[in-house]
Structure 1
């Protein structure tokens, strides 16, 4: 179950096992959804997808599993303006996000120009950039 970022559900299982967490059938379902996903689902969306596969899954299991994976650095939590927490895999090349304010869609993008400019700004201010997150909030332009 590898996704395009090279992370597999088995890797999530290994991370949880190392944390002393038992891998139950509901957790295995949640991990498979995360490994197969290419979007930025919230906990309720993960729960909805998991419950369609296994109705015995509880929302609290989803929340606990996401919290553990976040603590272990396997996933990243994003809180985009005006919305619930959403998650994505913590592997792969750095990218930024554009959030459609009308639909809530999240578009990943990378711009070498923006990356260089951020480094330059930090350097001019006497800093070394160690981390950053860029979120753009936008609306589709209407056709002319």
Structure 2
């Protein structure tokens, strides 16, 4: 509950700096992102919110997510499949992903050894890294099982 309030306060501060209003719909999107606490995309979030709040519009959810991303409270994740995913930002967050090319599922993972070697190599080449993301595409366990049953 404390995290939700903290995120709302930070978002409302961001909105006021941009001379934008705090609205019920924007607060509903913030609440949903905090409660969901995983990757989501605008269509999924819209359907989840619409189930409880039938008056909320798709464009409203999209615009609220874009504002949350602009504020830095939510991260936009583009994995090259045409779907922009969103997730609540965390300090020191890792950006390593397993992406299922069949169902589109995303699983985060961490491998500090790989990161350390990549950063060391970048530094030796005179490159200053600002962000770091590893993305592996393939089939998740569920889709592997489903695909083996169809062949």
4+ long deviations beyond 2 Å: 6-21, 140-143
Q: Secondary structure at the match of 1:107?
A: strand
Q: Distance in 1 between matches of 2:10 and 2:117?
A: 35
Residues 1:140 and 1:38: Cα distance change in structure 2 (over 3 Å): same
Between 1:27-36 and 1:14-23, the stretch displaced more is: 14-23
Structure 2 vs 1, CA of residues 130 and 82 (structure 1 numbering), >3 Å: closer, same or farther? closer
Query: Structure 1 or 2: larger helix share?
Result: 2
1:128 maps to: 128
Shift of 1:77: 0.9
1:118 alignment partner in structure 2: 118
Distance 1:112 1:51 in 2: 40
Query: For the structure 1 residues 8 and 73, does the alpha-carbon distance in structure 2 shift closer, same or farther, using more than 3 Å as the test?
Result: closer
Say if 1:119 and 1:129, in contact at 8 Å, map to a contact too: yes
For structure 2, the 5+ residue unaligned runs are 146-151
| 1:76-91 equivalences in 2 (<5 Å) | 76-91=75-90
Q: Tell me how many residue pairs correspond in the alignment.
A: 142
TM-score norm. by structure 1 comes to 0.83
Secondary structure (helix, strand or coil) at the match of 2:40 reads coil
> 2:11, 2:71 within 8 Å by CA — same for their partners in 1?
no
Superposed displacement of residue 2, structure 1: 4.9
Whether 1:104 and 2:99 are equivalent positions in the alignment is no
CA distance in 2, matches of 1:136, 1:66: 26
Query: C-alpha deviations, 1:62-109, integer Å up to 9, x for none?
Result: 111111111121111112222311101222332111112222111111
C-alpha deviation, 1:10, in angstroms: 4.1
Query: For residue 47 of structure 1, what is the aligned residue in structure 2?
Result: 46
> Does the C-alpha gap of structure 1 residues 49 and 23 become closer, same or farther in structure 2, counting only changes over 3 Å?
same
Per the alignment, residue 20 of structure 1 pairs with 19
Q: Which runs of 5+ in 1 are unaligned?
A: none
Calculate the aligned-residue CA RMSD, in Å. 2.4
TM-score by length of 2: 0.80
